[in-house]
Amino acid sequence: MKRFAFTMIELVFVIVVLGILAAIAVPKFAATRDDAQIAKGRSDVAAIRSAIVSERQARLLRGDSAYINQLHHTTTELFDHNGTTTSTLLQYGLATQNSSNGHWNASVTQMGTTWRYVFHVMNTDINFDYNSTTGTFSCDRTATGNAGTYCQNLID
C-alpha cells in the first residue's frame, strides 16, 4: 500500500527544525540592521568632514582663512549649504527624520561658534558638534550610556 501524505511525527519534526532555524536567524538580522545604521552614520560623518576640508581649501585659495560658519541652510536638509543658498557643501544634503534610527534629526542648536547636529542610531541621540573656529566635526566619545560607545563606533 502506498502513502501519499506525511505522518504527524514528520510534520512536528519539520516545524521544530524550522523554529530552531528561525530562532537563530532573527537575532542575526537585527544585528545586521544595527551594523547598517552605524555604517551609514560613519559614511555620513566621513563625507561631512571631507566636505569641510574641501571647502576650507577652496576658501584658502580665495584668500579667506575662515572655516565654514555652519553646515546647513534649513533644518529639513542638513549639510547642503554653508548657511547660504549659493554655496554647496555636500552635492546632495541629508534629509532629516526626527527619532528615526540611522538618520539625522532636524534639531540644530547654536552654542556660540559651535553648531550641534544630532544623529539618531539604535534609539540613542548622538550629538555632533561643529566648531566654526577650528573646523572640527565630532561627537563626545566619553558621553554617558550608549551614546559614548556609539560615538566611538561612528568616528573611529
pLDDT tens over the chain, length 156 residues: 677 778 889 899 999 999 998 888 887 777 788 889 999 999 999 999 998 999 899 889 999 998 888 888 777 778 876 556 566 788 777 888 888 888 999 888 899 889 999 999 999 999 999 999 999 999 999 998 899 999 999 998
Sign of CA dihedral 130, 131, 135, 138: negative
By the 8 A CB rule, do 114 and 103 touch?
A: no
